[in-house]
Structure 1
Amino acid sequence: MKHFLSFSGINTKVKAMGAKLISPEEFKTIANLEAVSDLIAFLKNHPGYREIFERYDEHELHRADAERIISVGLYLDYAKLYRFANDMQRKDLELFFFRYEVTILKNCIHNIYSSNRSFDLSLFEAFFNKHSDLNVTALAASQSMDEYINHLRGTQYYPLLVKLQNSGNVTTFDYEMHLDIYFFKKTWKLKDRELEDQSHKAFTHRLGTEIDLLNIMWVFRSKSMYHMPSSDIYSFIIPVNYRLTKEQLHRLVESATLDEFMNILKTTHYNSFAGSLHDGTMEHVYRNIITKIYRNNKINYPSSMATVNNYIHEKEAEINRLTTALECIRYGLDPQVKLKYILQ
């Protein structure tokens, strides 16, 4: 009862915030909008986004601007929860923030390698200044990897990226994959040190399943699409095992054919995932599995941060749907087609 009561306050806070999420019916309305300005006008009047859009004129914002402003909604909600949380609860939230840092770092790298140099992170500057030692504005303005890595001096990411850069012939794929591997390895260790009781159980189950499935998908893609040798596949494996044992993962990597790979996978805890690899729905099925874990954790671990984690996951999904809606408007898709893409 003591543990349950310690989470009742923040869970009540999350319930109130959850009431401001966009409903399926509201997404049907969004699917019928024909212009970016229409969507912005809708969000200006929605309780979940009114705060961040009220100072903007919907007729003056471009699609890319709207996407960045929508993303601010996630960080604002995170900041509200962080301010409300006690010290123990903040440890869980800080592991979520680690993922946001890595996402921003990957986006900045992608920007350097692309022809689009209008990557503006000024909207996120105040948030990251408070929660991070990253200079996101300087990173976003970097014109080369040398400049980018130099801006990371003094952070935990500098040694990793310098070592990778010095190895030679490094691509954006290499940088982004190694940042992901670093995130998962470190988070797997940190959750054992920072989290307790039900919060630890819920976080471990969700993250462990995520890692196992990501490794399975990586090995499958490497063999079916890239035809990579086993030695190269190992370079991008997340070195963490949850319900997929080290031996099982090794056998998957060393499998000589896709049929052998599938037969091995069917002997593991993730037997039911094999069908989605065959029919091309693995990304969709992966997202559904992780979403189901978030929801089940909320029920199974009431004396934990699982309710908060589930809300953050729902907010992330909502922002992805709004970004998809902007893309659909850009291409002038029919309302029913838009809705299919938005809700998939």
Structure 2
Amino acid sequence: MSLFRYSGLSTKVKAMKGRLLSPEQFREMSDLHSVPEVLSYLKKMPSYEKVLADKDEAHLHRGAAEALVKQSLYYDFGKLYRFADLEQRVFLEDYFMRYEVIFLKNVLRYLFDSNEDRADIDLSAYQAVFERHSEMDPNVLMQAESVEGLIGLLQETIYGKTLEMVGRSGKANLFDYESALDMLFFKQLWLDARKHLKKADLQVIQRSAGLEADTLNIQWIHRAGKYYHMAPADIYEFLIPIHYRLSTSQVKQLVEAESAKDFMDVLQGTVYGRDMQEAGTAQLEGICGRLMDKVHALNLRTQPYSVACLDTYLYQKEQEVNKVIKVIECVRYGLAAERIKEYLA
């Protein structure tokens, strides 16, 4: 039955994967000398042609350029949704919360960056897909003039209540708000998966979402202690309350580690220890990313005719978009091509 249900969608996903950017194309982008050159290069790529086709790349500021690149996520989601059957659409509807969170994080970044001009940001792609899958209006949300104003616009949603709780301290920063949104997404996806998915599909999503929750918690614990000097009690508030392969006691030991060395010693005693051997905390993000790549490859290899084909493609597309934005940022600040390639490795 799974083979029959997913054969057509799997073929569609394979065709879309063929349009993802290759490592060679990223290397070519890294050799470019300006943001307009990068955007001109992307304009020739099938997956970015639609969002950039009628834009003058020479006059796009950073925020507008990044928003256009991220629109390709929403276009691809729409393509998969139109091709999916009713049961597959249930999963995609649940998953769309991730894209709501991505959009809200963008708005928050604009609000925290007073130098960012939002006037020229094209929201047409967001508008079309949000009208179908969300109760939020991107154009209205983008007009918020403060975090408090954004929370007011979201008052009737689960996001509004969550962000309001974070803001009550009076000391909340961007990291706090983004962490709360991520936590909310994973809690909800975990619950929705158990409610809506059958056994094989549930196993796939619990494996990928569980690992991502673990790896994000590991990175947040490290950052919270090293960069924000947060007390353990405060760190616990921002952790995703999902323990996939980290036990409650191991999370407690990581949170309460007194030094970076103690943190790594605890981490190497967990199921992720083998992957962390000889790694320093500066390499955590890259290692966690490689673990995510592995679990999606495993899901697709062991359950090719399942929700894995959707989950893996959407993950890969999001990673691609993040890398494209990283290239844009690096080129904008004049980093050498070899340094950019190191960042992308």
Superposition TM-score, scaled by structure 2 size: 0.90
Distance in 2 (CA, whole Å) between partners of 1:333 and 1:167 is 38
| Corresponding residue of 1:65 | 64
In the alignment, is the contact (CA less than 8 A) between 1:276 and 1:285 conserved in 2?
A: no
| Corresponding residue of 1:30 | 29
Q: Which amino acid aligns with 1:189?
A: L
Matches within 5 A, 1:40-79: 40-79=39-78
Shift of 1:326: 1.9
Instruction: From 126, 129, 139, give the equivalent of 2:128.
Output: 126
1:135 paired with 2:137, answer: yes
Distance in 2 (CA, whole Å) between partners of 1:92 and 1:221 is 32
Distance in 2 (CA, whole Å) between partners of 1:25 and 1:110 is 31
Cα distance, 1:224–1:330 mapped onto 2, change above 3 Å: closer
1:176 paired with 2:178, answer: yes
Q: Which amino acid aligns with 2:123?
A: S
> In the TM superposition, what whole-angstrom CA distance separates every residue of 1:89-119 from its partner, at most 9, and x where no partner exists?
1222223311111121122223222213523
| Corresponding residue of 2:241 | 239
| Corresponding residue of 2:255 | 253
Distance in 1 (CA, whole Å) between partners of 2:265 and 2:25 is 44
| Corresponding residue of 1:284 | 286
Distance in 2 (CA, whole Å) between partners of 1:255 and 1:335 is 38
> In the TM superposition, what whole-angstrom CA distance separates every residue of 1:240-269 from its partner, at most 9, and x where no partner exists?
111111122223333445544444333321
Instruction: From 296, 299, 310, give the equivalent of 1:297.
Output: 299
Distance in 1 (CA, whole Å) between partners of 2:278 and 2:178 is 25
Cα distance, 1:310–1:224 mapped onto 2, change above 3 Å: same
- Which secondary structure does the structure 1 equivalent of 2:334 belong to? coil
Distance in 2 (CA, whole Å) between partners of 1:147 and 1:107 is 15
Cα distance, 1:29–1:106 mapped onto 2, change above 3 Å: closer
Shift of 1:11: 0.5
| Corresponding residue of 2:308 | 306
| Corresponding residue of 1:161 | 163
Q: Which amino acid aligns with 1:248?
A: Q
Q: Which moved more, 1:313-322 or 1:259-268?
A: 259-268
- Which secondary structure does the structure 2 equivalent of 1:240 belong to? coil
Distance in 2 (CA, whole Å) between partners of 1:63 and 1:97 is 25
| Corresponding residue of 2:317 | 315
Shift of 1:338: 3.4
- Which secondary structure does the structure 2 equivalent of 1:134 belong to? coil
In the alignment, is the contact (CA less than 8 A) between 2:6 and 2:305 conserved in 1?
A: yes
Distance in 1 (CA, whole Å) between partners of 2:193 and 2:33 is 45
Shift of 1:58: 3.5
| Corresponding residue of 1:91 | 90
Cα distance, 1:256–1:96 mapped onto 2, change above 3 Å: same
Matches within 5 A, 1:323-342: 323-341=325-343
Shift of 1:53: 2.2
- In the alignment, structure 1 segments of 5+ residues that lack a partner are none
- Which secondary structure does the structure 2 equivalent of 1:217 belong to? helix
| Corresponding residue of 1:107 | 106
Cα distance, 1:229–1:159 mapped onto 2, change above 3 Å: closer
Q: Which amino acid aligns with 1:156?
A: I
Between the two proteins, the alignment pairs up a number of residues equal to 342
1:266 paired with 2:265, answer: no
1:147 paired with 2:146, answer: no
Distance in 2 (CA, whole Å) between partners of 1:38 and 1:221 is 34
Distance in 1 (CA, whole Å) between partners of 2:266 and 2:3 is 42
Cα distance, 1:232–1:273 mapped onto 2, change above 3 Å: farther
Q: Matched residues, percent identical?
A: 35
- In the alignment, structure 2 segments of 5+ residues that lack a partner are none
Distance in 1 (CA, whole Å) between partners of 2:281 and 2:170 is 37
Q: Which moved more, 1:152-161 or 1:195-204?
A: 152-161
> In the TM superposition, what whole-angstrom CA distance separates every residue of 1:210-258 from its partner, at most 9, and x where no partner exists?
1112222222333344443322222222211111111222233334455
Q: Which amino acid aligns with 1:146?
A: E
Distance in 2 (CA, whole Å) between partners of 1:27 and 1:169 is 39
Distance in 2 (CA, whole Å) between partners of 1:308 and 1:235 is 31
Q: Which moved more, 1:80-89 or 1:304-313?
A: 304-313
> In the TM superposition, what whole-angstrom CA distance separates every residue of 1:48-79 from its partner, at most 9, and x where no partner exists?
22222222234443443322212111110110
